[in-house]
Structure 1
């Protein structure tokens, strides 16, 4: 065994299996772990992931087909009614604006037995179109409107050249050895993950 393959656990090509029945072949959870048992578990995980992917793909295809069928039925049943409803609503909204204008803005809504036609006013204020021009003007004529925001660049502080360093469980200034307030050392975590062939 060469150095390049020292960590590769040899495992024979698995026989063809029925993926729907495969969960029954998973080794007992209480089995003492070894390279051979781990290889069996990786194989089991591979098969289970493939089974899940197949079922998900089947479900997605069935859902897409059923959704298309229902949408087609809905359009057939309501398409013409939607067009007519939109046209009626547009005509009523146009009429309501005419009524409001004719009344000098006093008649803003009209009530009927089955609903109301309402008009609402919005806008009329101001909005910013050029922040740079506004800032330059405010600095000269309305300095009280100008805000100065101070912050520490965390990205710059994380760079090796920042002069900050981790010393055991504290963050210090490498030049002075003083503890930097407001910072703490994040614990190191080691996690394991399993990558099965096929990207599942």
Structure 2
């Protein structure tokens, strides 16, 4: 588990977007899953994003007027299994994040902490190797922050690589490595 820290404008989110094949870079070499210099929007990038990368966005990236179940189903729509098996996977993930019984709830009905746990459940159900988390605890109270960090640590123990962008020194200290970016001077 790696934390990327630094002041606003130092490029933390940009690095996360490059690592996640959302943005391209200008110079250098980037190797991800034995692929070199993958172009965003390429078929290779799309396959890697679909199969190997999960995102935890600061704004949760959930469809607010849809149900929790609908939002989670989007994350596993490419799994080769039936709907009943997908529903079992979803319910197991909701249990792990403490949201059992919320599958039919609309996202807008949930608190910020509950929405972040739905986003966490989405990362749990996708069989990805890499989880990119942009300020996953930024808007949460201490209790929810601790729960999210515990879930990230558990996922890391299961062999998933986790990269967390954070302003919170306490969150960063829970990671095995910390990369600090300096402010960009103009």
Please tell me the TM-score bracket, short chain as reference.
under 0.3
Structure whose alpha-carbon radius of gyration is higher: 1
Greater relative contact order (Cα 8 A, min sep 6): structure 1 or 2? Answer: 2
Q: TM-score, normalised by structure 2?
A: 0.19
TM-score, normalized by length of structure 1?
0.18
- Structure whose residues are more often strand by fraction: 2
